[in-house]
Amino acid sequence: MAIRRGRGVAAINYPTGMNLGGDPTQALVHSTPTGNFMVTLSSVDLGQGMKQIMAQICAETIGVPTDRVVVDTADTDTGPHCMGTFASRGTHRAGNAVIQAAREARQVMLEVAAEELEVNASDLETDGQGNILVKGAPQKSMSIFDVALSAHFKRGRSISGRGMFLIPRSYPEKETGAMKPSTCYAHACTVAEVEVDDETGEVTVLTVKNVFEIGRALNPKMVEQQLVGGSWMGISHALYETTEPYYPNRDHGGTDFNQYLMPGLGDLAETEIIVLERPSADGPFGAKGPGEMCANPQIPAIANAVFDAVGVRIDALPITPERILRALKAQAAG
């Protein structure tokens, strides 16, 4: 009886969004009378940072500081249509819609500023700090605050825009069933090191090293938090989480989160995250969707590491001590 060490590797790709009726998302952007901007979406922030990223995308497109943008995702009854926050689609689909809406609003803003400055709108640019400048003559400028006031109370213009992102629909080939379910894919690879006690079946995850290719990280710190948290979730799925016993009855199953097994801080492995940026051709500023993918590759990597350690293949989750011991017993008997 001994503690045996193993290493496992797994690589995956993961589609961004889906292919159902074009997977559409709409966005609305408008300016307040004081030059702040409101983004209206029906895409929901589940805690993954949707509002922050949409604010960044809008601000970058219009040319204002991020703190001048407010994102409203409050009401799917009155907001523009969205297929939903799932399938790792939020940043990609909603982000593209926000860019379209923000470009339209920016164009109206520049047209109003052009009237005030008596130049062509094509001769204007923003400085990212809340001002509109004449190209080549920055001393001739106007604040976006004043442009918004002029639009609302003098020019009778609505600084607003509409955006909708829709992917080309892919239909299955009749002969083969082949189709293109997504326009871009994120990728990941995980190497996990474990120790397995071949007497008790207990698995200890020592290290998890992850490489994620996610297009472009629009907010690197939020991406890091998402990927580290996802890696821990992957460990949890691999070794702990289950609704069993579920069939034929739930008499002895957990009834709340006090009885639902998850790893504690002492059970989490040393985790390393490396982000590769390969911008997507159709992503907002090159972004893809890292959302769900971040918890996937750890599961097969840990399963492979267990196999490398003790020579038994566990093909059901979670990989519990009981399953490992049963497999070892069957191996010895065979």
Contact in structure between 117 and 139 (CB atoms under 8 Å): no
Scored b (16 or more CB within 10 A) or e, 195-231 reads bbbbeebebebeebbbbbbbbbbbeeeebeebbbebb
Beta-carbon contacts of 167 under 8 Å, excluding residues fewer than 6 positions away, are 17, 19, 22, 23, 182, 183, 282
Task: Locate 114 and state its tokens.
Answer: 């052009």
Contact in structure between 82 and 41 (CB atoms under 8 Å): yes
Candidates 111, 115, 292, 322; catalytic one: 292
Task: Locate 140 and state its tokens.
Answer: 């001739």
Residue 195 bears catalytic tag: no
In whole angstroms, give the CA distance from residue 163 to residue 54: 13
**Strand blocks (E) in the chain:** 3-15, 25-31, 37-40, 69-72, 124-126, 131-134, 137-143, 160-165, 185-197, 203-213, 270-276
In whole angstroms, give the CA distance from residue 182 to residue 200: 44
Side by side, the strands of the sheet bearing 131-134 are: 124-126, 131-134, 137-143
SS3 20: coil
Beta-carbon contacts of 193 under 8 Å, excluding residues fewer than 6 positions away, are 5, 6, 7, 205, 206, 207, 208, 305
Cα dihedral 95/96/101/104 (nearest 10): 130
Contact in structure between 265 and 62 (CB atoms under 8 Å): no
Catalytic residues: 292
